[in-house]
Chain A
Amino acid sequence: MRKLLLASALVFSTITFANDSITIEEPFARAVPPGQPNSAAFMTLQNSGDKDLRIISATSNVSKVTELHTHTDVDGVMQMRQIDAIEIPAGGVTELKPGGLHVMLIGLTQNLAEGDSVEVTLNFEDGTERLLEVPVKHVMPMMNHQHKH
């Protein structure tokens, strides 16, 4: 019964607070070695509304601190920086992907292994929030998932 209440509360909160114009596709968090204190979550955000939207913070059930970060390549030097917000322009798409924007999970409270799932809540500037179930995956550029044994 408690589980059912919790589940309905979760569904209810998603319906109540989620921003309808935001569609989030293919969220994933990076699988990390045991003992690794941090990881990152990625996703594609699509804003079908006519207003620019901004994510101003995030939280997760697996990290002590969750921050918005970006990564830039300046003349071959990789620079990671914390940022105040991630903007999704009206009618536009913002990609959080390896090598660029990401939700940084700092101070992991558990190991993130492929097949696990983590919760990430995105807080928007307009006061709405979005709770995501994010699968944990091995991240490989070019997405070459063929494993030879």
Chain B
Amino acid sequence: MKAIRYLIGLSFVLVIAVLIYIQQQPKPAEQRILGGNIGGDFTLMSIDGPVSLSDFSGQPVVLYIGYTYCPDICPMALAVLGQALRNLPEEQSEQIQGLFISVDPERDSLEHLASYSAFFSPQIIGLTGEKADIDKVVQQYGAFYRRVEMRDSAMEYAIDHSSRLYLIDREGNLAAMVSHSTSPDQLMRHLEELLN
């Protein structure tokens, strides 16, 4: 009898321990967004000077974090955004601001970022900054990047990174996140929701 009570007690302690462990695990951004503690204002550099998210207060903003040497994923995400903006009627589309943040300031000059972003849509502004400023935004938005040396490659290094289009409402709050593999039409519907 004593043994059973002991076992029940032990399993109770175990369950509590597991619950505490789960509680302490870092939550993916998708869960943290519900708590409202992801996103927020930031200031980075564009070719025309400093740009803050709060500069676009009253406008929906779509934010993407990547780098221009990215062969695939970043151009795909920006192409989807550009196409979604073109799919919208002009009076709606022109209210939306696109922001592309490069986490590779070493290779992405402000000039190059400007022409790179405009290639996908004239409504996308290219931004970057000091590492500390970039890291702050990356952390705020629950994003991730790391530099990876490519010893045998002419690329010298690549950047592993998370890939999400952050949809920010008129008040500057993060409303949703979508993947680069979303279709322009799906993204367009998200944008319409932000406009309403």
Q: Which of B3-11, B31-39, B131-139, B153-161 faces chain A?
A: B153-161
> What's the nearest-Cβ distance from chain B to residue A122, in Å?
18
CB–CB B76/A139 < 8 A: yes
Q: Cβ of A37 < 8 Å from any Cβ of B?
A: yes
- A30 contact set on B, CB distance < 8 A: 71, 75
- How long is the Cα–Cα vector from A106 to B70 in the complex, in angstroms? 11
- B28 contact set on A, CB distance < 8 A: 76
- How long is the Cα–Cα vector from A105 to B48 in the complex, in angstroms? 31
CB–CB B150/A99 < 8 A: no
- How long is the Cα–Cα vector from A139 to B154 in the complex, in angstroms? 24
CB–CB B184/A144 < 8 A: yes
Q: Size range of the interface on B? A: 35 or more
Q: Cβ of A107 < 8 Å from any Cβ of B?
A: yes
Q: Cβ of A140 < 8 Å from any Cβ of B?
A: yes
CB–CB B86/A148 < 8 A: yes
| CB contact between B71 and one of A33, A40, A148 (< 8 Å): that residue | A40
Query: Contact residues of B with A, CB < 8 Å?
Result: 28, 68-73, 75-76, 79-80, 83, 86-87, 112, 115-116, 118-119, 144, 148, 150, 152-155, 158, 160-164, 180-181, 183-185
Q: Which of A11-19, A79-87, A126-134 faces chain B?
A: A79-87
CB–CB B119/A33 < 8 A: yes
5 cross-chain pairs, A with B, having the tightest CB-CB distances, nearest first: A33-B119, A65-B154, A82-B153, A40-B71, A142-B183
Tally of contacts, chain A with chain B, CB under 8 A: 102
Task: Give me 15 other A-B pairs in contact (C-beta within 8 A), A139-B76, A142-B184, A149-B86 excluded.
Answer: A32-B75, A33-B116, A36-B116, A36-B119, A38-B155, A71-B72, A76-B28, A76-B144, A77-B144, A79-B148, A80-B158, A99-B72, A140-B76, A141-B180, A141-B183
CB–CB B153/A98 < 8 A: no
CB–CB B155/A99 < 8 A: no
- B116 contact set on A, CB distance < 8 A: 33, 35-36
Contacts A77-B161, A140-B80, A141-B181 given; does A82 touch B150 at CB 8 Å: yes
> What's the nearest-Cβ distance from chain B to residue A134, in Å?
15
- A80 contact set on B, CB distance < 8 A: 70-72, 158, 160
Contacts A/B (CB < 8 Å), 6 sampled: A34-B115, A76-B164, A102-B71, A141-B76, A144-B185, A147-B86
- B160 contact set on A, CB distance < 8 A: 77-80
CB–CB B153/A67 < 8 A: yes
Contacts A33-B119, A142-B183, A144-B183 given; does A77 touch B162 at CB 8 Å: yes
- B86 contact set on A, CB distance < 8 A: 147-149
- How long is the Cα–Cα vector from A36 to B152 in the complex, in angstroms? 21
CB–CB B76/A98 < 8 A: yes
- How long is the Cα–Cα vector from A30 to B86 in the complex, in angstroms? 20
Q: Cβ of A138 < 8 Å from any Cβ of B?
A: yes
* In the complex, residue of chain A having the shortest beta-carbon distance to the beta carbon of B144: A77
- How long is the Cα–Cα vector from A147 to B83 in the complex, in angstroms? 8
CB–CB B181/A99 < 8 A: yes
- A82 contact set on B, CB distance < 8 A: 150, 152-153, 155
